[in-house]
């Protein structure tokens, strides 16, 4: 929704918004663009617009999917017969209708892959538009209109709005579609994995015959979706090796690791070496993300060697293994972890890079699925690469994390106060350690507070 607000503002629309909490970097981006964000969902925020004679006939309410019937602001919108739409629908009708849309979907890696893809197109001089659920460091902003037919969008399977329960991504009408992976997530709206597969089937049904579906060849769940029907050419990728794909494909992308941490790897297409990537990102998951982006960019006309050159200048994304600071030789990272698979692959990538140096993992299970306890049986195993694990139990968590503590043994501890958690990390950390903080929220400003605390250590 923040990115859509930025696109609307760039299009010349006067934009204001309401939310309970807006965190950096999005809050800063909105402020810099002159977008007024008011705290809370008060009727007065809408009344101020609709009762102004200069704006009452030109006002449209764009409703986010956190809004439900029964909220006063929604009841007011309906009772006053205000024009309203969803964010994805507004995006298609006002931005995407005439674009070559490159949509990046999947349970993990959407933000990173979309950011890489947008940068490859930019590096090739194609000046793409994009809407990404993070801030690529190469651009410094999460959304822009661009100046070409190409538009990269992070395509989420979450539902659209209270009045439209389809997944958001069906609104985007992609010509090029990436499916990174497919696991159970969003347990607050999907009963099981099969329900998510159905939504991906709906997405594949609208990709044109002239388009391309780029998909993860290691994922049998994606094959299940293809078996429901696919009318578009496909290309598979695998970050394992050239023979590991489970997708029945003759066309495919694969890799060969030169450095086991994923910072240097060879790219193959149909078994033919295309070039070598040397970049700053780590981990097998990011090799997959790179291969997917290279394949999607090639469909848009970017030669593979240009894409490989672009990756050497890719700077990463805020809140995706972002190094927030280094104090007393202690490195503090921020990562937007929301699922055990993402946690595991991130930790493995860091471990491959730093060897036997100590990893202190700090986790706030904040996503809706995490809060429901859906992944509680696999959470401990996903943290196994860490030397020390500090768990933060937020208010309103629907399950107790004692089972995770028991599984991790004496290398773990539980905390429910931010200041006390920071003190515990500071006592645990020493020179050459790596502190990986994982949360999809603001986490009480823990990163800067921790850096301040570490700087006071002798």
Which helix (H) or strand (E) element contains residue 426?
A: helix 418-428
pLDDT of residue 444: 78
Where exactly are the structural domains of the chain?
2-81, 89-311, 322-455
**CA 392, CA 424: separation in Å to the nearest integer?**
11
pLDDT of residue 352: 83
**CA 453, CA 448: separation in Å to the nearest integer?**
9
Contact in structure between 275 and 284 (CB atoms under 8 Å): no
Beta bridge partners of 17: 37
Longest pairwise C-alpha distance within the chain: 66
pLDDT of residue 289: 94
* CA torsion angle 99 104 105 107 (round to 10): -160
pLDDT of residue 112: 93
Q: Which two tokens stand for residue 166?
A: 């389809």
Strands (E), 270-373: 272-278, 322-327, 330-335, 359-363
Beta bridge partners of 159: 167
Beta bridge partners of 213: 177, 234
pLDDT of residue 271: 87
**CA 344, CA 350: separation in Å to the nearest integer?**
10
Which helix (H) or strand (E) element contains residue 105?
A: strand 100-105
- Domain covering 89-311: architecture: 3-Layer(aba) Sandwich (3.40)
Helix (H, G, I), strand (E, B) or coil at 234: strand
pLDDT of residue 124: 96
- Domain covering 322-455: architecture: Alpha-Beta Complex (3.90)
Could you tell me which of 244, 227, 228, 245 has the C-alpha nearest to residue 236? 245
Low-confidence ranges of the chain (pLDDT < 50): 242, 244-245, 247-250
Could you tell me which of 104, 95, 110 has the C-alpha nearest to residue 149? 95
pTM: 0.80
**CA 161, CA 167: separation in Å to the nearest integer?**
9
CATH homologous superfamily, domain 2-81: NAD(P)-binding Rossmann-like Domain (3.40.50.720)
pLDDT of residue 247: 47
**CA 94, CA 86: separation in Å to the nearest integer?**
12
């Amino acid at each position: 929704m923040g990115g859509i607000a930025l696109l609307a503002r760039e299009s010349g629309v006067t934009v204001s918004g309401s939310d309970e909490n807006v965190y950096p970097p999005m809050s800063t981006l909105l402020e810099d663009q002159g977008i007024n964000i008011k705290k809370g969902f008060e009727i007065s925020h809408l009344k101020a617009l609709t009762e102004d004679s200069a704006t009452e006939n030109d006002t449209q309410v764009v409703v986010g999917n956190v809004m439900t019937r029964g909220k006063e602001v929604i009841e007011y919108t309906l009772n006053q017969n205000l024009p309203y739409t969803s964010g994805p629908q507004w995006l298609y009708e006002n931005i995407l209708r005439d674009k070559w849309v490159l949509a990046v979907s999947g349970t993990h890696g959407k933000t990173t892959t979309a950011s890489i893809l947008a940068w490859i197109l930019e590096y090739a001089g194609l000046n793409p538009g994009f809407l990404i659920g993070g801030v690529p460091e190469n651009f410094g902003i999460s959304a822009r209109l661009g100046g070409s037919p190409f538009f990269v969008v992070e395509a989420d399977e979450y539902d659209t709005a209270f009045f439209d329960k389809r997944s958001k991504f069906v609104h985007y009408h992609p010509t090029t579609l990436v499916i990174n992976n497919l696991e159970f997530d969003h347990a607050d709206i999907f009963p099981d994995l099969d329900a998510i597969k159905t939504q991906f089937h709906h997405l594949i049904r609208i990709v044109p015959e002239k388009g391309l579906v780029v998909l993860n060849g290691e994922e049998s769940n994606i094959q299940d979706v293809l078996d429901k029907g696919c009318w578009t050419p496909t290309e598979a990728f695998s970050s394992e090796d050239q023979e590991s794909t489970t997708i029945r494909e003759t066309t495919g992308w694969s890799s060969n690791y030169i450095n086991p941490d994923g910072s240097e790897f060879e790219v193959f297409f149909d078994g033919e070496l295309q070039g070598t990537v040397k970049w700053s990102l780590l981990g097998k998951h990011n090799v997959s993300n790179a291969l997917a982006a290279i394949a999607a960019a090639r469909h848009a006309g970017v030669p593979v060697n240009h894409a490989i050159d672009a990756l050497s200048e890719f700077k990463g994304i805020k809140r995706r293994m972002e190094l927030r600071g280094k104090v007393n030789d202690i490195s503090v990272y921020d990562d937007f972890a929301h699922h055990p698979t993402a946690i595991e692959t991130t930790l493995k990538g860091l471990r491959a890079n730093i060897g036997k140096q100590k990893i202190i993992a700090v986790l706030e299970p904040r996503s809706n699925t995490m809060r429901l306890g859906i992944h509680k049986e696999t959470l401990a195993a996903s943290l196994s690469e860490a030397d020390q694990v500090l768990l933060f139990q937020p208010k309103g968590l629907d399950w107790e994390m004692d089972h995770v503590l028991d599984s991790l043994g004496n290398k773990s501890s539980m905390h429910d106060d931010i200041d006390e958690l920071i003190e515990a990390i500071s006592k645990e950390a020493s020179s050459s350690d790596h502190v990986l903080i994982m949360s999809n929220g603001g986490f009480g400003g823990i990163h800067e507070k921790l850096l301040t605390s570490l700087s006071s250590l002798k």
